[in-house]
Structure formats: C-alpha cells, structure tokens
Amino acid sequence: MLDLATTKVHDEARQGEQFAPFTNDPNIYGKRFYIESYGCQMNFADSEVVAAILNKEGFGATRNVEEADLIFVNTCSIREKAEQTVRKRLTDFKRLKNEKPGTLIGVLGCMAERLKSKFLEEEKLVDIVVGPDAYRSLPRLVNEASDGQKSVNVLLSREETYADIAPVRLNSNGVSAFVSIMRGCNNMCSFCVVPFTRGRERSRDAASIIGECRDLFEQGYKEVTLLGQNVDSYHYISNDGTEADAVSFASLLEQVARISPELRVRFSTSHPKDITDDVLHTMAAYENICKCIHLPVQSGSTRVLQLMNRTYTREWYMKKVDRIREILPECSITTDIIAGFCTETNEDHQDTLSIMDYSNYVYGYMFYYSERPGTLAQRRYQDDIPLEVKKKRLQEIIEKQNQLSLNDYKKDVGQTYKVLIDGDSKRSSEQWVGRTSQNKVVIFPKQDNATHKKGDYVQVTINDCTQATLFGSIA
Ligand code: SAM
Ligand code: SF4
C-alpha cells in the first residue's frame, strides 16, 4: 500500500523506516538484524546494500527490534534536527541493550562519518561505527564487536561504488526501485556537509548499472530511479578505457531507457549547472524517461547563491528553466529551497518567492538553514538570521509552494494521463494509487471485472485534485 510519491529525494514519511524482511525468503537464519534508515534516498539505497552483506553472513532481517541481535541506524547529518532524532533513537536502543546484553548496536552513514569514534569514546552509545564507504568491512566489525572490542571503520574511498553487490530491496512494492549510479560529491556548496561525509564523487561501472536495471525489469519492476547527489556529472571510464570511451549521463540514461519501453526511468538529483541539453534531448526522445526534473534552486538571490557557492546566478537558473520548458513542455520541475541562509535580507527572500513563481515548481523540499560543523559556511559566515525570521520565511515559502502546486494540479483536471499502478490506495483496497510521468500521485477506483494489477499502465482521466493528489477514473 503506497499513497506516496516514492521517488522523492528526502521523503519525510520514510524517515525511520525499518527494513522489512523480504517475502518468500527460503533461508533460515540463526541471527537477526534490524535497520532503521534516515535521510535521503541514497541512504535508503545503502541500507539495501548493507542488508545484502548481512544476509550473506547469515543474518536475516527483522522489523521487531526486540528480537534483533544486531541493531543498525543508517544516519543523516544534513540538518541538526536529523542528528537529534538519531541520538534519541540510539538512546532508546541503548536502554534495550541494557535489558538484553549481547545485542550489538551500530551506527552507519553520514553521522558515523562525521562523528567517527566520538560515538564510542564520548557518547558510549554504540558498539560499531561504519562510514558510507566501509560497508564491506561490516562482517569483520561485527565479529570484533561480538568479541567485546569497539569497532570503527570510517575510511572514505575514491573507488568504492558497491557495483558488484546486488541490493536486497527494502520495503519494495515490487514496482519501483532505486539504483545508485554514483557516490560522493565534489561540489562544495557552502551549507552542505555531504562532501565531508560521503567523500569524493565517483561513478559506478555503467555495465553494472544497466545489468541491475535489466534484472529488476526481468523480476517485474516497472520503474527505476537512478540516484546520485549530482547525476548529471556521471562520467564513467572503465579501467582499460580512454576518455573517448567515457559514458556520460545522457548516454547512460539512453541505455537504461532502451532496456524496454515498459520500464520507466527517473533520476535524481540534477545540479542546475550540470544538466545538459543532451540530457534534455534524450528525455524528449524516450517516452519512458519520465518528464520530471528535480532541480534544486536553494535561493532566488544571486548574492545568496554566490555565498552558497552554487556557481549559478538567478538569471542563469531561469534560463535553464526556459530551456527545459522549450525542449520538454510537459516536464514538471521540483526543487529544494533553504530559507534564512547567512546574511539573507528580506529582498533576497522576495527573490526566492519570485523565482518560485517563475519556475512554477510542482513540488518543493523546503528547509530553514541549519549550520553544520566543518562546512564552508560555518567557517566563513555568521549564522545571523534569527530562528523566528528563518521560520517565518520558510512558512511563506511553504505557502507559496502550496499555492503553486494547487494551481498546477488544477490544470490537470479534464486531462488524461498514463499512470503506472503502484498498488492499493491507503484509504481503500477498492482504489488504486499510481503516478504519472510527472510523478504526480493519482487515486482512482478499480474497475469491476477488470484484470488490472499493480505494475500495469492505465490511462486515467482526472476529475478532481488537492494540492498533492489527483483523483480520476480509468479512461
Ligand atoms: N545534491 C543535492 C543538490 O545539490 O541539490 C541535494 C543534497 S542534500 C541531501 C538535500 C537538500 O538538503 C539540499 O538540496 C538542501 O536544500 C538541503 N540542505 C543541505 N544542507 C542544508 C543545511 N545546512 N541546512 C538546511 N538545508 C540543507
Ligand atoms: Fe551538497 Fe551541493 Fe553536493 Fe548537493 S551538490 S550534495 S547540496 S555539496
């Protein structure tokens, strides 16, 4: 059951999601692991790699933390609040461990990378600390921790992409899956901790990506989302290849789209400076490449964008939006926005509101600025906007986005769209929920005597909407 657009980057409804054991697993496991994930989709995809590694070691997944021998939290450092949530969960688990000695607690992901052995020495909350590039060492670390040693591996790598590990799909509806195509980020946006927690950018072997997507399609999946912090800078050259053999993102996208016209392809995230006309033309050429681009603007003020080190101006971003509209008139654009970055004036804030109007975003992930230790902004600028001003501006941004979304959804009423069925709607098993190419959620009644099933495509005529959902009936 799924009433959510599952391909969003940082889905609030998925925060803290537990890994569900995959159905029809014939193996019998002596030991159990529990894993809870926070943050962006990359983290959820990483938990699937961790699950594959642990399965191989004889650990089966459980959703019941009390029966787990191994408890993992895959963490996010992007904002202070994300870290606070994780700390609270670790304290809960520590209490559980007191009642059931022998249980091991591990922290994975960005917070592990950021705080390293502090977790063991100062906070004494966990037994195992593993950074995002060190999951292959988990079996050894678990063994060491079982012998009573505290285990840490937070080494970042310039090569690791886990290309050869087939992820065990997490809470999958069997229709959509995420496929990591690269790791790390070289961009150094001044507010962002990611380059420090996930290391240098590296692209995964193109053949292994295409192989994974083909396997998913053969297993019945109908949608893949190619994931990376900055997918448009994907650039893969095999060890014996030369620059002339390099695979670009446009070319990778095309090769995945060619697996089958029945397989929808999405991707996230696009840095505005890197998305090329080649990518836009490839999207136009293939019906099954979904017409939806996540193009985070962060701010509408050129002055603030410069402080953020985003490397584009307001005007440059607007031209990119024009170009998308020109080549892909049907395309929806979504965004990320930060309110109240260092020195932001009311005029800068007004620029953000007006660029939202200009870009006509269908959806936005909106945050107020949270200073992160070690980032360029923390070292160079003062976090000088009072919290109540940040919150007020964020509220105005959210209200603007709600209005834009509603206006946009209203335009769909009366239109007919091809919808991929995700499953039963949350509210009723007599209704389907699915998504359009633009990634808009559609709810519509099942037809009597019809043989439709999840994973099918159907034409749906829209007859009503809210700001986040379309309602319709099968055409
Ligand atoms: N790589 C993506 C990009 O360039 O847009 C986004 C990565 S980040 C995981 C997701 C979003 O979190 C960012 O786009 C930004 O809006 C937000 N974010 C990052 N650092 C932040 C901070 N220090 N305070 C508030 N929001 C932040
Ligand atoms: Fe962070 Fe910027 Fe990299 Fe996105 S592109 S992960 S915001 S540094």
**63-113: per-residue pLDDT in tens?**
899 999 999 999 999 999 999 999 999 999 988 988 898 999 999 999 999
CB 61 within 8 A of CB 35: yes
Compute the average pLDDT of residues 135-156.
93
231 lines ligand 2 (CB under 6 A): no
- Asked whether 11 lines ligand 1 (CB < 6 A), one says no
Whole-number Å distance, alpha carbon 78 to ligand 1 midpoint, is 7
User: Ligand 1 within 6 A of 369 CB?
Assistant: yes
Q: How many residues does the chain have?
A: 475
User: Atom 4 of ligand 1 has which residue's CA nearest to it?
Assistant: 271
Probe residue for ligand 2, chosen from 77, 185, 336, 337 as the CB with the greatest number of ligand atoms within 8 Å = 185
24-33, 191-200, 377-386, 460-469: least confident range: 24-33
pTM of the full predicted structure?
0.94
Residues 191 and 238: their CA atoms lie apart, in Å, by: 33
CA distance 455 to 457: 7
Is 409 a pocket residue for ligand 1 (Cβ < 6 Å)? no
Q: Best of 43, 76, 271 to mutate for ligand 2, by most ligand atoms within 8 A of CB?
A: 271
Distances 194 to 40, 374, 455 between C-alpha atoms, Å: 11, 11, 34
Is the distance from the beta carbon of residue 192 to the nearest atom of ligand 2 less than 6 Å?
Answer: yes
Q: Verify whether ligand 1 is closer than 6 Å to residue 196 (CB atom).
A: no
With 50 as the cut, is the pLDDT of residue 330 above it?
A: yes
Cis, peptide link before residue 311, omega less than 30° from 0: no
Ligand 1 pocket mutation pick from 311, 338, 394 by most atoms within 8 angstroms of CB: 338
Q: Using 50, 70 and 90 to split pLDDT, how confident is the model at 266?
A: very high
